Amino acid sequence: TFEQSRLLKSLPKQFFASLVQKVNKVRAEGHDVINLGQGNPDQPTPQHIVERLKLAAEHPDNHKYPPFRGKAELKQAAADFYLKEYGVHLDPEKEIAILFGGKAGLVELPQCLLDPGDIMLVPDPGYPDYWSGAALAKVHMEMMPLKEENDFLPSFNDIPKEIGDQAKMMILNYPNNPTGAVANEDFFRQTVEYASAREICVVHDFAYGGIGFDGKKPTSFLQLEGAKETGVEIYTFSKTYNMAGWRIAFAAGNASVIEAINLMQDHQYVSLFGAVQDAAAEALLGPQEAAAEISAMYEKRRDVFISSLQEIGWDVKSPKGSFFAWLKVPSGYSSLDFSDLLLDKARVAVAPGIGFGEHGEGYVRVGLLTSEERLKEAALRIKELEIF
Ligand code: PLP
């Protein structure tokens, strides 16, 4: 056996691997678990996108190496999409980079722009892969607490001056995983102001950009004046188009950041399978009804689930976007104890808030990734615990 490198051993523990193990153990004992702990969309990719893949897979051009830095048609489609959806003008060659999923881009970005010891501002609670990116680049994370009283937006006034002045990158994510919060233009305006005054590169993770509720379309960071000078947005196909298995996303915005990502990728990959890129272009340019239906489906599930929990006496709030609900645990329990209780006694798996950072303590995250019936059933099972 060979020992792992110091770098590999220094990476943060993958908290959610243990959750999967726990669920598998209970299932192996013969129990029916309603698994709301993970973030894997449960519905298939819209058929017109799959059909495009099939056709594209037959095309011999796609059997060769794809063009370095991705297909021009897909980058043009991404630019057209941003113009149509958000009124944002992007240069397809200089301001868009194709990624092997949002995760890869988010993990690579600190290595592209920061040096060991540099400071990166990270939301807490937040998507744990940001920590992996920081560890691989050996940069120092400063956490920005997301508090309920501030609608789960970070407060820039609370960032100590010496930290803000030294920070080189800031990660934001709205609609937010895990809290389900959304950001409005005013918040992004403050972000541009704060970051541009300190030359901080903003990385806005727009993974749930297609999933907004109550008639409100989530704001793109790039819609703000000055945003392109300040950073990039990561747009993934995984959630909006139920394409999590396809591993494709893109970064859009600041040309120097896009060049850095492309350069990093030149050293690691050629590009994605051309047929996947063709199908992704179809997702962006083709009919958008399916994407609207996906968002509406999560909104219905949210309404059903939140009202079922309120009916059993759990005081919970409705998320405004993403497909997660962020629920306060009853007093007397840690988030881990409470999740274990729900799994062991109600056979409902949820993700403990502490897995998303220190400020996630006191909450659990529920993924609205099963049918309305199963969500109602989950609420009934929780009711039987007679906690509320
Ligand atoms: N960002 C957030 C907040 C996520 O929740 C996810 C996926 O769960 C991603 C990024 C990564 O998405 P993907 O790598 O599938 O594009």
146-164 pLDDT, tens digit per residue, is: 999 999 999 999 999 999 9
Residue 358 lies in a domain: yes
User: Same domain, yes or no, for 346 and 257?
Assistant: no
pLDDT per position as a tens digit, 237-259: 999 999 999 999 999 999 999 99
User: Same domain, yes or no, for 159 and 240?
Assistant: yes
User: Same domain, yes or no, for 259 and 157?
Assistant: yes
User: Same domain, yes or no, for 214 and 111?
Assistant: yes
User: Same domain, yes or no, for 125 and 263?
Assistant: yes
User: Same domain, yes or no, for 146 and 229?
Assistant: yes
Residue 359 lies in a domain: yes
User: What is the C-alpha to C-alpha distance for residues 37 and 35, in angstroms, rounded to an integer?
Assistant: 5
Residues 6+ apart with CB under 8 A from 64: 274
C-alpha of residue 19 to centroid of ligand 1, in Å: 18
Task: Tell me what the mean pLDDT of segment 350-370 comes to.
Answer: 97
Residue 1 lies in a domain: no
Share the mean pLDDT of the chain: 97
User: Same domain, yes or no, for 273 and 336?
Assistant: no
Residue 388 lies in a domain: no
**The amino acid at 75:** K
- Report which secondary-structure segment, H or E, holds 157: none
User: Same domain, yes or no, for 127 and 220?
Assistant: yes
Which residues have CB under 6 Å of ligand 1?
39, 101-103, 127, 173, 177, 205, 207, 236, 238, 244, 249
Boundary (domain end) residue, out of 285, 320, 344: 285
If you take atom 12 of ligand 1, which residue's CA is the nearest one?
102
Q: What is the dihedral of CA 354, 360, 362, 367, to 10 degrees?
A: -90
pLDDT at residue 54 in the model: 98
Q: Complex ipTM above 0.95?
A: yes
Token pair for 80: 């057209």
C-alpha of residue 103 to centroid of ligand 1, in Å: 6
User: Same domain, yes or no, for 136 and 228?
Assistant: yes
- Work out the end-to-end distance of the chain between its first and last CA atoms, rounded to an integer number of angstroms: 51
Boundary (domain end) residue, out of 285, 314, 339: 285
Whether pLDDT at 17 is above 90: no
Whether pLDDT at 305 is above 90: yes
CATH number at residue 115: 3.40.640.10
Give the domain extent around 10: 6-45+290-383
Boundary (domain end) residue, out of 235, 254, 285: 285
Token pair for 183: 């950001």
Whether pLDDT at 18 is above 90: no
User: Same domain, yes or no, for 204 and 306?
Assistant: no
User: Same domain, yes or no, for 338 and 367?
Assistant: yes
User: Same domain, yes or no, for 12 and 106?
Assistant: no
